[in-house]
Every structure is written in structure tokens, then in C-alpha cells.
Amino acid sequence: DIVITQSPLSLSVTPGEPASISCTSSQSLLHSDGYNYLDWYLQKPGQPPQLLIYLGSNRASGVPDRFSGSGSGTHFTLKISRVEADDVGIYYCMQPLQTWKFGQGTKVEIK
Amino acid sequence: QVQLQESGPGLVKPSETLFITCTISGGSIGTYYWSWIRQPAGKGLEWIGRFYAGGSTSYNPSLKSRVTMSADKSKNQFFLKMSSVTAADTAVYYCAREAGAGQQQLLYWGQGTLATVSS
């Protein structure tokens, strides 16, 4: 089974400052088709998760460009260039390559 | 706009079967993959399985022996059936739809329905 590990598990950020979340996979998520099968979701309080980034680095429609995804193989990063109050919630990475697995989640709060 | 709405019994007794419905509006069930995901209170997300109305299914091995997914195309609904439930199955259950055209990211989500297993 592929194990997904996120870090940190919590993050307190000053508005306007950047934030970064890491996601590490126990196996490569780079498929033979050239795509990295790693997605990022944000679950705001009291809401279902919403898609932010798919295939490692593609922003979903309507997602602000302050969000970016990078990485390949086993190491991935979600970056928020300037955190806003609306960005609070729990961020999950997820691999849909084998048995789909979510990371443990990273709780982001505003200082 | 695609909208998903889960509905279920709310309370289920241990050892019984949980049955949850996802009703789809704004799109057809027939040409996409659909997933079920659950989340115990205060905990993370667990993928339960994936279903294609044409008959293809893929289940989380940890739940496979107890889970069945199916659909009623005429009603634009798909279903989750989970047998022999225990307290550990208490969670909010979400249905979700993939983006389509070979893209597996979960683009549309329902609001979730809470299923509590208790006697």
C-alpha cells in the first residue's frame, strides 16, 4: 500500500505571509503517462473538501493563483504565496494511483 | 451546475446494514466515475470506493468485504451499502464525482450525511 505523509500537521500563519505544506509518498506517484497522481484538497470548517490542485501542479478552476502545487515522484509541496483569512481549514493531499489514500491533513489557522 | 446530495438513515444499529443514497442533479450519472468518502468526527478522510455506472467498481481493500456500490440510472442516483456495521463506521459519508475524461480528481462533492452506529 502507498503511504502518504503530510507535514506539518498544523500551521499558524500571519495574513499576507506564505505557507507551505509537504506531502511525501512511500512510492512514486509518477505514472508512465507522465503525470504525477497527487491532488490537493481544502476542507473549510463545516464544509466538504474542495479540489485545489490536481495532477501535482494544476490549479482547479476558480482556485486563486496564490495557490500552487509542485513536486514529482514521491515529494510534493502545496504553497500559498500570501495567506488570507479565507484559507483556514484542513489541507489534504491524496493519491488516486492505487488504493486511494488521503494524507493525515494539515490544519491551517490564522495568527 | 452539478449538485450531489447524500441521504441516509442517520442511525443504524450495530451489525446491521447501512444504505446511503447520492442523488445527482445537473448531470448524468452514466458517463462519470463516482466515489464514496467518509470522515469520522474530528478525523481525516477515508476513501471507500469508486463506481462507474457501466459496471466497474473499485473498493478500498480494508472495506471491500462489506461494501457494495450500485446505481439507478433512471433516478440519477447511486448507492452505498455497507454491511455488518460497527461503531467504527460512524462518520460523515460524502459522495463525489470525478472531473471526467480520464481525470480522477474529485471535482464535485455532496455536503455529506452523518451515519451513526449505535444501539
Average pLDDT over residues B45-57: 90
Please answer yes or no on whether B106 and A48 come within 8 Å at the CB atom: no
What is the model's pLDDT at position A10? 97
Using CB atoms and an 8 Å cut-off, which of residues 25-64 of chain A contact chain B? 37, 39, 41, 43, 47-51, 54-55, 60
pLDDT at A107 over 90: yes
Cα four-point dihedral sign A57, B39, B28, A99: positive
Q: What is the CA radius of gyration of chain B?
A: 13
Which of B47, B105, B106 comes nearest A101 by C-beta? Answer: B47
Please answer yes or no on whether A48 and B99 come within 8 Å at the CB atom: no
Which of B60, B99, B104 comes nearest A99 by C-beta? Answer: B60
Please answer yes or no on whether B105 and A51 come within 8 Å at the CB atom: yes
pLDDT at A84 over 90: yes
What is the model's pLDDT at position B31? 83
Nearest chain A residue to B111 by CA: give it.
A48
What is the model's pLDDT at position B53? 80
B53-99: per-residue pLDDT in tens?
A: 877 899 999 999 999 999 999 999 999 999 999 999 999 999 999 99
d(CA B106, CA A49) in angstroms, rounded, equals 9
- Judge whether A103 and A93 are in contact, CB under 8 Å: yes
- Judge whether B7 and B113 are in contact, CB under 8 Å: yes
DSSP strand E in chain B: where?
Answer: 3-7, 11-12, 18-25, 33-39, 46-52, 57-59, 67-72, 77-82, 91-100, 103-109, 113-117
Average pLDDT over residues B2-6: 97
The DSSP-derived string for chain A is ---EEEE-SEEEE-TTS-EEEEEEESS--B-TTS-B--EEEEE-TTS--EEEEETTTEEPTT--TTEEEEEETTEEEEEESS--GGG-EEEEEEE-SSS-EE---EEEEE-
pLDDT at B101 over 80: no
d(CA A107, CA A89) in angstroms, rounded, equals 6
Query: Hey, of A92, A100, A106, A107, which one would you mutate to test binding to chain B, going by the most B CBs within 10 A of its CB?
Result: A100
Average pLDDT over residues A38-42: 98
